[in-house]
Amino acid sequence: MAGLKLKNLNKIYPNGFHAVHDMNLDIEDNEFVVFVGPSGCGKSTALRMIAGLEEISSGELYIGDRLVNDVSPKDRDIAMVFQNYALYPHMTNYENMAFGLKLRNVPKDEIDKSVKYAAEILGLENLLDRKPKELSGGQRQRIALGRAIVRDPRVFLMDEPLSNLDAKLRVQTRAEISKLHHKLKTTFVYVTHDQTEAMTMGTRIVVLRDGYVMQVDTPTNLYEHPENMFVAGFIGSPQMNFIEGELNQEEGQLFFSFKGGKVAVQEEKAAQLKSLEEPVKKVVMGTRPEHLEVDTIPSEEQETPVENKALVEVTELLGSETYLFLKIMEDQTIVARVDPSIKVSVNDHVIIKPRQDKMHFFHPETEQSLLT
């Protein structure tokens, strides 16, 4: 059990590709940190540098208090779970789980105890004598988890461990890994491209893009206070809506106006926007589908011009909720998540009302949040 410290970590491949840029991160003992980002963002590379499978181009990596830049993977006291399980096909599941301890010359009865313990946690007791190829994907991944548990490492590393499983099993195993983290009380570093996995499992999330850390925060903070448009768009599903427009002052009240409508800005947010060091007029307003309220228009008033009017293009019924795809300008469609009891049909006009307390404002060029 130990924390991790990444100091200005860089990875530059021989072909010049800069995969990770100056990554700084402090991971506390017992944390469940998730690296998330689209493919090619450097999340796996970062994890593999922690594992020692990838050389560190520059910067420092500490596990506990120990600088491990030049320590080989086997001496880092870490365990890793791979996407395609990476079980040794010629060994039984028992042997697979015992392999790491055997290499360390741990006495046989101790190995046996550890393997049995891990098998019990994961419910694998009656699969130990079989070979990996006789198991289903989910069982294989559990053996791979077991192999990591048996090692009793200081840090668990997981590289997209669920992406080879089908959707149902993924949800199940997701919960299982979370439970495991509570039980083992060890540091977990978990890589995924799936924001749902990140949000549900992580105690802290590191959002990466093109090798840069975009934001490091708890799931709640990432969702409520994204620092930039990338994070705002990446976290949450369906994606946050971005509407370009400008800020205008009318009789002391700040408004966000866009083609086809305007919305009053909440006082607290307005104060922040006004006190910016470099005031901006053009901004991008972000509102999540679940924070976009929709009012229906009675059929006789459908054609009356009103502010914030939108055209329903598509409705998606999901049972527990309904997604409305709304055309607000010539070339922009936004999504609203509404109660399924709402009575709208395609080609109806509705009025959109973004929740004032949940509006985000971003700089149109730097894409940074204008709020703190």
Partner 1 sequence: MKPHKTFRQRLLKLGFYFVLMIIFVYLLFPFYWAINSSLKTEAQLQMTPATMVPRNPATGELAPTLQNYRVVFDNQQFVRGVMNSTIIAFSTTALALVAGSFAAFALGKLRFRGKKPTLYLILAMTMFPQVTVLAGLYAVIRALSLPALISLILSYMIFTLPFTTWVLTSFFRGLPMALLESAQVDGATPFQTFYKIMLPLTAPAMVTTGLLAFIAAWNEYLFALTFTSIEPSARTVPVAIAYFTGAVARQEPFGEIMAAAVLVTVPIVLLVLFFQRRIVAGLTAGAVKG
Q: Which amino acid, 225? A: H
Q: Does 88 bind partner 1 (CB under 8 A)?
A: yes
361: left (phi over 0), alpha (psi -120 to 50) or beta: beta
Considering the complex, state which of residue 17 and residue 88 has its C-beta at the smaller distance from partner 1.
88
Chain positions 263 to 282 lying near partner 1, rule: CB under 8 A, are none
354 in contact with partner 1 (CB under 8 A): no
Contact 283, 361 (CB under 8 A): yes
The answer to whether 310 and 324 have CB atoms below 8 angstroms apart is no
What is the three-class DSSP state of 318?
Answer: coil
**Residue in 23, 56, 78, 177 binding partner 1, rule: CB under 8 A:** 78
Under DSSP, is residue 184 helix (H, G, I), strand (E, B) or coil?
helix
119 touches partner 1 (CB under 8 A)? no
Which H helix or E strand runs over 162?
none
- Could you tell me the smallest distance in angstroms from the CB atom of residue 55 to partner 1? 12
Both structure tokens of 43: 């999340």
Find how far residue 126's CA is from the centre of its chain. Answer: 35
Least distance (Å) from partner 1 to the CB of residue 76? 8
Closer to partner 1 at the Cβ: 134 or 339? 134
Q: How far is CA 177 from CA 44, 164, 229, 277, 351, in A?
A: 19, 15, 30, 45, 43
Longest dimension (CA), the chain: 83
Residues 309, 270: contact at Cβ < 8 Å?
A: no
The answer to whether residue 83 forms part of the interface with partner 1 (CB under 8 A) is: yes
* Listed residue (244, 247, 243, 245) closest to 280, CA to CA: 247
- Total of chain residues touching partner 1, rule CB under 8 A: 28
CA distances from 144 to 120, 147, 149, 261 (A): 14, 5, 9, 55
In what side-by-side order are the strands of the sheet with 155-159? 78-81, 155-159, 187-192, 32-36, 204-209, 212-217
- Of 97-105, 275-283, 330-338, 353-361, the window that binds partner 1 (rule: CB under 8 A) is 97-105
Binders of partner 1 among residues 229 to 248 (CB under 8 A) are none
Under the binding rule (CB under 8 A), the answer on residue 90 touching partner 1 is yes
Span interacting with partner 1, options 69-77, 202-210, 231-239, 247-255, rule CB under 8 A: 69-77
Please select the residue that binds partner 1; options are 36, 68, 87, 229, rule is CB under 8 A.
87
For position 74 contacting partner 1 by CB under 8 A, the verdict is: yes
Q: Which is nearer to partner 1, 37 or 132 (CB)?
A: 132
The correct pick among 39, 65, 70, 103 for binding partner 1 (CB under 8 A) is 103
Contacting partner 1 (CB under 8 A), which of 10, 84, 272, 315? Answer: 84
162: contact with partner 1 by CB under 8 A: no
**Which residue number, 155 or 201, has a Cβ lying nearer to partner 1?**
155
Positions in the binding site for partner 1 (CB under 8 A) = 51-53, 72-74, 78-80, 82-90, 99-100, 103-104, 132-133, 140, 147, 151, 157
